[in-house]
Structure 1
Amino acid sequence: MNNYNMSSSSKIASLELGRIVAIITILLMHCQVAMHYAEINGEPWLGFIINQISRFAVPLFFIIAGYFIADKLQRAPLATLKAYARPLVRIWLIWSLISLLMPFNFGEAFQQGYLHERLPYWDTLLAQPLNSLFEGGLVHLWFIPGLVCALAILAACLHFGLDKAILPLALTLYIYGVLAGSYQQVSGLEAPIFTRNGPFFSTLLVASGYLIRQRQIQLAFAPALLLALLGMAGHFGEAALLKSYYQVPFPDHDFVFSTVVWGIGVFLMLMARPNWGQHPQLIDTAQMVLPFYILHLLVAIVMFNIAESLQLSGLSKDLMIVLGTLVLSVMLIKGIQQTRLNHILFR
């Protein structure tokens, strides 16, 4: 999501713009926008669409990471992995601990006690320790172990001279992840962890960014846009078919077969228009994407508690939660960035 060793001069404006758009779609998904109204045949289809339209975002983050780390990873795979992974693992550990300690239901914690509210959540994580190891203290933190796993696989392949094994291995992991994930009811395959977590999807996406950089792959804007639209249509089509024939809930899909095509298409589309978003303020704003990703879900939990206490519902609830999460997260990030905590919590 963010390259710790990337100088400001190496940034591509369109990719920074893409990261900002992607994090906004993730915010809408995590705030569960329109998931309790605007129903068609008893189901909130507007909310389902908003939920799934965000699914290009994390693939784009992975691809960007692979693209920008490619040269360093090629030159010094293990040293680059160590330098890149160390701050990410530290951030993951710290925010996992914060997430474990923070109550999610303020009313229950106040009325029945802190431990009464927290113990069921801790028990849930302890009941699946391997999955929790690849996820963290709160569900969205899976991105960090996933990124580290992908980089470790690429670094190992490069270190041992197995460059040609990267793509077949990454494809195998991705296909298995889809079959044991969204298509589990079709394939009957089981996985030791929830396949969104760990290396199953992240490896192919990070490898895609790496290979695009190493092989200087480019597309003109029109074919790249077409690729992105085909990937998006495929993603929605797969989700619709799985719901129709296997009753898999429409918003449950993080990755299906077409998702990688969608992500690569969006990336190549942005690369074909590198000057999109060329403004110093946008570049500065994009530097908050990783801190925002890490922090925003905890802030959203606070806003959900406030909305419940105010007995809000419908559009007014969504507006308060989304805007409140956005504004409060940005304020907290800017405040932390002015202190020594910035290096500990975000870098």
Structure 2
Amino acid sequence: MNLFIGEKMKRIYAFDSLKLLGIVAIFVIHYSIFNYYGGVEHNAIYLSLNILARFAVPFFFVVAGYLYYFQSMTDSGAYTKRYLAKLIRMYVSWTLIYFVLVGVGYQFWRPYSFLAAFYHGTFGSEIMWFMPALMIAVLLQFIAKKFNACFALFIVACMLHLIGLSGQSYQALLPFEIFNPETNTFFINSRDPLFFGLFYVTLGYHLAKVNAVSLIKKLPWPVYLLGTVLFSGLSVAEGLWLILGHGAIIADYYIMTLPVTLSFIALALTLPTVNKPSWFAKIGEHSGEIYLNHGVLNSMVMSVFWYMGVFSDPEVRAVVANNLTLQILLVPLALAVNFTFYFAIRSLFRRCFGKQTLSAYRESAMILSALWLIFIYAPNGQGENLFNNQNPMTVFIAVCICCTAYYSFVRWLTPVSDQKSSLAIKHIIVGAAVSGYWLALSASGVLEMLRSLYQEGANPFILVLSGPFVTFSLLIVFSVGITLGLQKWLYMPNLNSREQVTP
């Protein structure tokens, strides 16, 4: 699935290629390569790579806004509804997956927070913040278009973004403080929908609205490539000046992030047009899904480092941090593993269930698995399990919640949300059948057996591979496959009569 491009507009393959570069940049940030290299925690190499990689998320936002303008031209209401429904499906399903994997795998159940779930996007995992930021920005852009206030929204977004800089590295130069997670619940980080995402989404929208491409194309693409290199270098200089010179925090964006992002956009729009995508572009088409799932592998790798003592033993940390080969190869290896598993699972599921079923129902299948793992393992306020499969009333309530949640999700958020009401019984059958599957796993002891595979005292790799995080990740993949098979069997007659949906 492509997170940013809708159904009607001809694909801009250069955007896809650069989105792959953006995914690489995100891996550079999240794997913290070269940190502590040479015995210095925030050394110049680590900081430079981190700062260089900060173009990725703004680039994704601008592309989203740019393409949203064209996709919403004919019927903005209908397209926006479909687009937001797609984003909500992806956000809810992956948030629940991360929530349950961290809870079951590491025995850390994040406390519920309305702002964390619906605004900051950090309820399941920190990496999910991007999704509500994009959804809120697109919704505000749609409202502004309805009221003919797009330019006013852009001005407001610019002002908010400037204020947001005070929550980044520039806080060190200011005598006041707005963003503080210790004293605020809303203003905890300016890496959020209003102070970050809104500006870049509206920027992309206005670049399309004013037909900036006609002006951009007056210069050849090598000029913008040079501009990208030049402004990237200036962004590194800006970040190092703030962090090393003034003790500032490592920021999510800087002043120079704007010209860097604009240079990348201009480069994409001026590169020679091709009729077929390169393999870079083909992988970049899946940037949305890869962004969402990369946190699973990242958690596993960080767990290996944790068991090795990298985060607790200075000697071990020094050995790992100063291993030049490891620091150079860590991101390429992580990318290769992540891509291999993603495309292998995707190919297997498409062969088994077809792309129509996969496109329409994969998120709902993920949610069913996550809900039942939450039912079975999430603790109450006293630290005891919420679920008791020996209590008929508890089982009945859980099944009702599961069926209701599944029906609501499929009825209102999937691409087949206009199904006839007569299909309600099929939704209930899926919810009830999957509930029976999970109840059988619980009653038979399979779930506890998976938890008992953990080999305490083994080497770090065995510890991670035998741990609940990995075993339950595999169980979720298997269970999603079981659910998709049931959904294909029940829903395919209806899907066959519809226009094909591209995942």
Q: Measure how far apart 1:308 and its partner are.
A: 4.8
Give the equivalent residue in structure 1 for 2:335: 326
> Structure 2 CA distance, aligned partners of 1:42 and 1:59?
26
Letter of the 2:338 partner, please give it: S
Give the equivalent residue in structure 2 for 1:305: 303
> Structure 2 CA distance, aligned partners of 1:267 and 1:203?
17
| Equivalences for residues 84-163 of structure 1 within 5 A | 84-103=83-102, 114-115=106-107, 118-119=108-109, 122-123=110-111, 126=112, 130-131=115-116, 133=118, 134-136=120-122, 137-163=124-150
Letter of the 2:342 partner, please give it: I
CA shift in 2, pair 1:230/1:281, >3 Å: closer
CA contact 1:77–1:156 (8 Å) conserved in 2? no
CA shift in 2, pair 1:150/1:43, >3 Å: closer
Aligned CA RMSD, in angstroms, stands at: 2.9
Letter of the 1:284 partner, please give it: K
Letter of the 2:62 partner, please give it: I
> Structure 2 CA distance, aligned partners of 1:174 and 1:53?
20
CA contact 2:48–2:240 (8 Å) conserved in 1? no
What is the DSSP-based 3-state SS (H/G/I as helix, E as strand, rest coil) of the residue aligned with 2:211? coil
Give the equivalent residue in structure 2 for 1:292: 290
> Structure 2 CA distance, aligned partners of 1:30 and 1:180?
20
| Equivalences for residues 158-173 of structure 1 within 5 A | 158-173=145-160
Between 1 and 2, higher relative CO (CA 8 Å, sep ≥ 6) is seen in 1
Q: Measure how far apart 1:213 and its partner are.
A: 1.7
Give the equivalent residue in structure 2 for 1:19: 19
Q: Measure how far apart 1:223 and its partner are.
A: 4.4
Deviations 1:72-111 (A, max 9, x none): 334433333221111111211111111122239x9xx6xx
CA contact 2:55–2:261 (8 Å) conserved in 1? yes
Q: Which moved more, 1:51-60 or 1:159-168?
A: 159-168
CA contact 1:177–1:201 (8 Å) conserved in 2? yes
TM-score by length of 1: 0.83
Q: Measure how far apart 1:27 and its partner are.
A: 1.1
Letter of the 2:297 partner, please give it: V
Deviations 1:256-310 (A, max 9, x none): 2221221011110221114479545333222221111111122111123234556
CA shift in 2, pair 1:303/1:211, >3 Å: same
Letter of the 1:5 partner, please give it: G
What is the DSSP-based 3-state SS (H/G/I as helix, E as strand, rest coil) of the residue aligned with 2:169? coil
CA shift in 2, pair 1:93/1:226, >3 Å: same
CA contact 2:16–2:282 (8 Å) conserved in 1? no
> Structure 2 CA distance, aligned partners of 1:138 and 1:94?
12
Deviations 1:106-151 (A, max 9, x none): 9xx6xxxx53xx14xx25xx5x752453223111111111111111
Which residue, out of 168, 184, 187, partners 1:181?
168
TM-score by length of 2: 0.59
Q: Does 1:190 align with 2:178?
A: yes
Q: Which moved more, 1:213-222 or 1:149-158?
A: 213-222
CA shift in 2, pair 1:182/1:6, >3 Å: farther
CA shift in 2, pair 1:193/1:310, >3 Å: closer
> Structure 1 CA distance, aligned partners of 2:274 and 2:130?
26
Letter of the 2:236 partner, please give it: F
> Structure 2 CA distance, aligned partners of 1:276 and 1:49?
33
Q: Measure how far apart 1:193 and its partner are.
A: 3.5
Which residue, out of 194, 197, 208, partners 1:213?
208
Q: Which moved more, 1:323-332 or 1:196-205?
A: 323-332
CA shift in 2, pair 1:178/1:75, >3 Å: farther
CA contact 1:78–1:156 (8 Å) conserved in 2? no
CA shift in 2, pair 1:44/1:166, >3 Å: same
Which residue, out of 240, 262, 285, partners 1:264?
262
CA shift in 2, pair 1:199/1:78, >3 Å: farther
CA shift in 2, pair 1:283/1:224, >3 Å: closer
Which residue, out of 175, 178, 197, partners 1:202?
197
CA shift in 2, pair 1:53/1:88, >3 Å: same
What is the DSSP-based 3-state SS (H/G/I as helix, E as strand, rest coil) of the residue aligned with 1:248? coil
Deviations 1:53-72 (A, max 9, x none): 11111111111111111123
What is the DSSP-based 3-state SS (H/G/I as helix, E as strand, rest coil) of the residue aligned with 2:37? coil
CA contact 2:20–2:281 (8 Å) conserved in 1? no
Give the equivalent residue in structure 2 for 1:61: 60
CA shift in 2, pair 1:239/1:310, >3 Å: closer
Q: Does 1:253 align with 2:251?
A: yes
> Structure 1 CA distance, aligned partners of 2:335 and 2:16?
18
Q: Which moved more, 1:223-232 or 1:256-265?
A: 223-232
Q: Measure how far apart 1:190 and its partner are.
A: 1.1
